[in-house]
Amino acid sequence: MIFQTGYPSLHNDVKNLLIDLGFRIVYNYRNRLRYDKTHDSYYVQISGRNQLEKWMKEIGFSSQNHITRYLVWKKLGYLPVGTDIVKRLEILK
């Protein structure tokens, strides 16, 4: 999972909160060229199954799209490519 923002103060707050909650994270700064303009981008990334399980247990998602992706992955051990929420709900029945 990746959180990305253009605001350094928001980046620091999210980074520090996740560290305080015990998540193992990777964070960095990128300066990217987009539409002939440079944009500052600060990101925080959480990777790995254990970290995903920790996220779901302690924080979770409110979006049905994200929840069904997680539940299908949990059920099948992978997320089939190209499945929309309707197909994922069918898999979960």
Model pLDDT for residues 21-69, shown as the tens digit of each residue: 999 999 999 998 888 899 899 999 999 999 999 999 999 999 999 999 9
Res 22: pLDDT: 96
Kindly give, in sequence order, each residue whose CB lies less than 8 Å from that of residue 53, ignoring residues fewer than 6 positions away.
Answer: none
Res 91: pLDDT: 96
Q: Average pLDDT of 74-85?
A: 95
Residue ranges of the alpha helices (H) in 1-84?
8-20, 49-58, 64-76
Global confidence as pTM? 0.79
In angstroms, rounded to a whole number, what is the distance separating the alpha carbons of residues 57 and 59?
6
Res 18: pLDDT: 96
Res 32: pLDDT: 83
